[in-house]
Structure 1
Amino acid sequence: MTDVTTRPSVLHLVRHGESTWNLAGRIQGQSAEAGGLTAAGRAQAQLTADLLAERPVRPTAVIASDLVRARETAEIIAARLDLPLEFDPEIREQNLGVLEGQRLDSPFADDPTAQDTVDRLWREPFLRPDTGESIADMYDRVHRAFRRHAEARPGLDIVLVTHGGPVRMAATAEPPTPGVPVPRIGVDNASVTSITISAVS
């Protein structure tokens, strides 16, 4: 039998289901005022939980961002997998500071819309919004968390319930470079993005 420590850890990154602020078109970030899941979001989370339960290698842990929308998604998944739920604030969404709570289509500062400001953060990955963090800051934070969870459970499958920003960071293999835009790929609500992390030799 193959020792699980000889295979890479597999992290199944789940974006939370549709939230009330997703539906309202408001920027969430790490805002304590951002709402939980909509009815559609709960249904999405249940479907994802069922898909994870049917995988040939069953996950051994469910770890979630402590923000409400991720926590509610993770509760549904953990219940379906019959696993305890752990929390890790390091897999939170990007801290967007003064942008949080703004409507995406509303004017913001010198930009036509707050969405334009968010897009600029991805074009200039070391730019920080007031009281927030840059894309480069988020990259360092979430990759540190991914590595930590993989090393804590070598060779096992783990579910991390997180947000769009951290999932995009998983698709960014190299740290951001000043002046080089970071692709802002689409990440659907309750989608699963699986990555492998090999044990440190």
Structure 2
Amino acid sequence: MARPLTLLLVRHGQSEWNAAGLMQGQTAHVPLTGLGHEQAATAARELAALRPGAMLSSDLLRAVQTAEHCAEATGLPFTTTPALREQGYGVLEGRPSRELWDVVDWTDPHWAAEGGESLADLHARVAAFLTRLREDPPADVVALVTHGDTIRAAQAVVAGLGPADMPAVTPHNGTVTRLQLGAAVAR
């Protein structure tokens, strides 16, 4: 039987679009704010104390900048993967988030904006990634630098919940969420 795998999910620090209240999704070029760099450095110190043996990051700039802080604090190199990206919101990316409450059907896990992905798509992407990671883990404790909705999807997958039952609360920017991944990953 495979040993449990500990995942340390780091949510990126505050980005310029977080601060401006804009929907980010998979928009690649959005950097961290000064506060975001401080949050990333704080998360990096917490992560270093948890002693991960490997680190992977979303390839979006805000996550990569956070991973750079984590790499400096832990001494670990990191690789990037699009599998850890935020949920894609397609044509809604860059719009003020407050305008989207009347546009997005938050209750339907299969709803997606044009050019985006649904919560069900995100859940399936994260489940597939975690299955591959479980099959060939680079270490017993792995840091994943990623995004709020991606962390919520990972929490659901590890708990055996579907996309309709993802946790409602998104971890704050610059926080570390610990998950234990057993021998099998729910899909």
TM-score (norm 1): 0.83
| 1:136-195 Cα shifts (integer Å, max 9, x gaps) | 00000012112222332276000000001111112223223xxx5644313200111111
Q: 1:73-112 residue pairs with structure 2 within 5 A?
A: 73-105=66-98
Q: Any unmatched runs of 5+ in structure 2?
A: none
Report deviation, 1:115: 3.3
Change (3 A) 1:183 1:52: closer
- In 2: Cα distance, 1:124 partner to 1:145 partner: 23
Answer whether contact 1:11 1:150 (CA < 8 A) is retained. no
Q: 1:145-156 residue pairs with structure 2 within 5 A?
A: 145-153=129-137, 156=140
Rg comparison, structure with higher value: 1
- Give 1:28's match in structure 2, choosing from 24, 29, 48: 24
- In 2: Cα distance, 1:36 partner to 1:146 partner: 27
Point out the more displaced range, 127-136 or 6-15: 6-15
Answer whether contact 2:5 2:182 (CA < 8 A) is retained. yes
- In 1: Cα distance, 2:123 partner to 2:173 partner: 20
- Give 1:174's match in structure 2, choosing from 151, 155, 161: 161
Provide the secondary structure at the position in 2 that maps to 1:83. Answer: coil
- Give 2:117's match in structure 1, choosing from 122, 133, 136: 133
Report deviation, 1:82: 0.5
Q: Any unmatched runs of 5+ in structure 1?
A: 106-112
Answer whether contact 2:155 2:166 (CA < 8 A) is retained. no
Answer whether contact 1:32 1:67 (CA < 8 A) is retained. yes
Change (3 A) 1:8 1:181: closer
| 1:89-129 Cα shifts (integer Å, max 9, x gaps) | 01100010111000112xxxxxxx213434x2x31001111
- In 1: Cα distance, 2:155 partner to 2:183 partner: 19
Question: Which residue in 1 is equivalent to 2:147?
Answer: 163
- Give 2:44's match in structure 1, choosing from 28, 40, 49: 49
Task: Determine what percentage of the aligned residue pairs are the same residue.
Answer: 41
TM-score (norm 2): 0.89
